[in-house]
A = this chain, B = another copy of it.
Amino acid sequence: MDSPVRQHSLREHNLALVLRRVATNPRPLSRADVAAATGLTRATVSTLVDDLVAGGLLAELEPVPRAGVGRPATGLALSPHGPCGLGLEINVDYLAACVTDLSGTVRHQIVRHVDQRDRPAGDALAAVAELAAEAADVAAAEGLPVAGAALAVPGLVRQNPHGGGHVHVAPNLGWRDVPVPAALGALTLRVENEANLAALGELQAGEQDPDVSPSFIYVSGEVGIGAGIVLDGQLYRGAHGWSGEFGHLTIDANGPRCHCGARGCLEQYAGQDAILRAAGVAGEDAVPAGLERIQRLAQAADPAMLAALGAAGAALGIALAGAVNLLDVDAVVLGGSYAPLAPWLRAAVEEELTTRVITAGWSPAEVRASALGPEATVVGAAGSVVRDVLAHPAAWLATLS
């Protein structure tokens, strides 16, 4: 709104418009289809398409013979050899990397199980840079230029506008005041909270499906609990990028002390350690690790675990009801380790939403398990890079000239 639309930005806008029209259409489109759908002239569309093809963003498919007179039209689709995004993740017990192409298809994925808890932040960053280099090699071998990288961290992140940033605190990694470099080699590196990127992954996974709501809260439960908020198809990051600190919503003002200093935070009722504690199962050093132990006991219908999951679901439902009352979103998505636990959490969550959301009688919020599961974060990270290219193709084309 603040930028004047002159010929230059007119071209930028229309490049994005044409690219997006092709990207969101389930079938290849002819230039004439694009002109009809955008209201632009065929001559304008042709010029824009030529630029997008030359820049490797669109590909012209073989003409398909069709009935009727006239030359068969060439079909336009996103290029399978276009720029890709590199997603990276540092989490409590693993590192991950992922490459997605323009269509959002995962072309490469690595997960390396390494406990990060007693490791200096610099070592984790060095290890993830190695993983990134491997992934970039795979992309190069497949002929995919890498447009940039995004790193997911389970913490409170200040993002710098031109790459890099600062992790204020990532409690479960033991990080405090960790700077993140602005680049990995020649690639710009963005850094962001993991739940934000997972919500973006979830959004991308549902974008082709008209039944999937574009307004939802994605809540991810591990030892900590985070949320990503998607409003009208856009990730809402907050004034400082700190939105979605869902684990610290108050369930009981006089409840158990939380590591944050307050009392009765949701994490103390619905975090993994809290669930294990409520079920009377030993602490965090036991094997197998938290989620797996919870799942095994739940699958064995262990009564203490079923009760603990019901109580966790109720606490989660109370906090989610508050969020739905506040934000009027259509859906809540159980993500991270809540996705595999959804069968045991869902009923309690739904009951609280039904009782506590004032509009539940008119339009109840849907409760669903994440479509991607734990991969949502690293896939969302890679997708966030691709999303930027699709939204600003002129910026990508400018890097080529």
Contact = CB atoms under 8 A, between A and B. Distances in A.
State the number of copies, please: 2
Contacts of A78: none
A249 B10 contact: no
Nearest to A20: B1
Contacts of A355: 261-262
A227 B4 CA distance: 34
Interface in A147-191: 156, 168
B229 A213 contact: no
Given A4-B40, A245-B326, A356 B262 contact: yes
Nearest to A156: B359
A213 B231 contact: no
Contact of A251 (B6, B238, B253, B265): B253
Contacts of A38: 4
A90 to B, nearest CB: 20
Contacts of A321: 248, 250
Interface stretch (A11-19, A138-146, A336-344, A381-389): A11-19
A260 interface: yes
A292 interface: no
Contacts of A249: 322, 325-326
A391 to B, nearest CB: 8
B328 A326 contact: no
Given A238-B328, A321-B250, A260 B358 contact: yes
Nearest to A329: B239
A236 interface: yes
A206 to B, nearest CB: 15
A109 interface: no
Interface of A: 1-6, 10, 13-14, 16-17, 20, 38-40, 156, 168, 213, 215, 227, 229, 231-232, 236-246, 248-253, 260-262, 265, 314, 318-319, 321-323, 325-330, 355-359, 362-363
18 contacts: A1-B20, A3-B39, A5-B17, A156-B362, A215-B238, A239-B330, A243-B327, A244-B326, A244-B328, A245-B326, A245-B359, A246-B326, A248-B321, A248-B358, A249-B325, A262-B356, A322-B322, A326-B326
